[in-house]
Structure 1
Amino acid sequence: MAEVRWPDEHLVTAAQSGDTESIAALVSGAHPHVRRFAYSLCATPEDAEDAAQEALIILYRKIGTLRASGALASWMFRIVRNECLRQLRLMARRSEPVFDEGTVSAEDAAMHRLEAERVAAAIAALPGDQRRVLIMRDVQGYSGRMVADLLGLSTAAMKSRLHRARSAVHDTLQDPMFGGRA
């Protein structure tokens, strides 16, 4: 298979100056890289496609704000990572219990949101294979067999990855450097 390269700096510079053909070529040239990165970060193929699409829209709209034409790859990877984190937070919010405003203080609600963000960040820091298993099993609620089948794994391999993912998240949340207990 031929190696797909990032668009060159001349194309990036032309796109930054507003050349519409260059912008279209830049978005088209960046697409395979952005998509591959999204698939490695997001929990599901659907989330990856959404994140890649959002990242390319941001590239199209904000290419003029990129400071260094050589920084395109790192800029795009950061955008994709942020989109995957945003989707993870949305997924976590959808699965959160709804609080009765009359019984929960504003402080408790804020602490709950902070804790949810810490958990989302710990999950996002996992390797892709562990993150996908953890999200599908523990967040989306798929059965172990279904997760294994969807990811093309044996049940034992899925359980092993799930255990490693849960342990890593637990360790991260307990680490005092990340706001955990000492």
Structure 2
Amino acid sequence: MADPTWPGERLVTAAQRGDVEAIGALISGSYPNVQRFARSLCATPEDAEDAAQEALIILYRKIGMLRASGALASWMFRIVRNECLRRARTVLPSHTPPPDPPGGAVRSAEDEALERLEAGRVAAAVAALPADQRRVLVMRDIQGYSGRMVADALGLSTAAMKSRLHRARSAVRLAVRTVPGSTPGGDADEEAH
């Protein structure tokens, strides 16, 4: 079932065909969701607003490249995530890129689909965190700031920052491990036998 908070497929299709009114309606209809993504992923409100604006500019310029009209939400999430990461990289020293798959193997469409589902579950878990925990988790684990930098930026003691980070990591871990329809910890019981 489609998410009713996102613009409908008919509007997306019309925008893809170049209908100027549809493009305007698509951008204004997408803005609240894009802004919510950005606030959950970026470390500062300023970066979030900039990332949301950049994502909407990309939507305007490249709507015709969207393959499936029903994939707008996941496409916009990836754009916002990439923009937040790009902004974080400009502040932090560069990191080494992730390694290629073992043996240089090409990833299958199934692997990519599973990774997108997992990324969506992680993003939803992070977005569901209380704002104070989410900010600490994003700054420390996603943007890579040191514990001291995170604590200073948020006006916290190092102990308070570590406590929030631990609670946030635990909540995300639990949310990602819990499969809908199962009970948390069910796997551990089966392994004990």
TM-score, with structure 2 as normaliser: 0.58
Question: Quick check: 70-79 or 154-163, which moved more?
Answer: 154-163
TM superposition shift of 1:160: 1.1
Name the counterpart of 2:62: 62
In 1, Cα distance between equivalents of 2:148 and 2:63: 35
TM superposition shift of 1:161: 2.5
- Secondary structure of the residue aligned to 1:141 is helix
Answering whether residue 163 of structure 2 is matched by residue 160 of structure 1, we say: yes
- Contact 1:34–1:52 under 8 Å retained in 2: yes
Name the counterpart of 2:25: 25
TM superposition shift of 1:156: 5.2
Amino acid at match of 2:146: D
Residues 80-99 of structure 1 mapped to structure 2, 5 A cutoff: 80-93=80-93
| Count of matched residue pairs | 135
In 2, Cα distance between equivalents of 1:157 and 1:85: 25
CA shift in 2, pair 1:165/1:24, >3 Å: same
Name the counterpart of 1:108: none
Extract unaligned runs of 5+ from structure 2.
99-121, 127-133, 170-193
1:138 to 118, 131, 146: 146
In 1, Cα distance between equivalents of 2:148 and 2:90: 12
TM superposition shift of 1:165: 7.9
In 1, Cα distance between equivalents of 2:137 and 2:95: 20
In 2, Cα distance between equivalents of 1:67 and 1:140: 43
CA shift in 2, pair 1:136/1:161, >3 Å: farther
TM superposition shift of 1:158: 2.7
Any idea what the Cα deviations from partners look like across 1:104-149, whole Å, max 9, x if unmatched? xxxxxxxxx553x56xxxxxx894333345369638936x366147
How much identity, in percent, do the aligned residues show? 62
Name the counterpart of 2:51: 51
TM-score, with structure 1 as normaliser: 0.61
Amino acid at match of 2:29: G
In 1, Cα distance between equivalents of 2:72 and 2:152: 40
TM superposition shift of 1:79: 0.5
In 2, Cα distance between equivalents of 1:140 and 1:76: 32
Extract unaligned runs of 5+ from structure 1.
94-112, 119-124, 167-182
Amino acid at match of 2:8: D
In 1, Cα distance between equivalents of 2:153 and 2:136: 15
Name the counterpart of 1:79: 79
In 1, Cα distance between equivalents of 2:145 and 2:95: 23
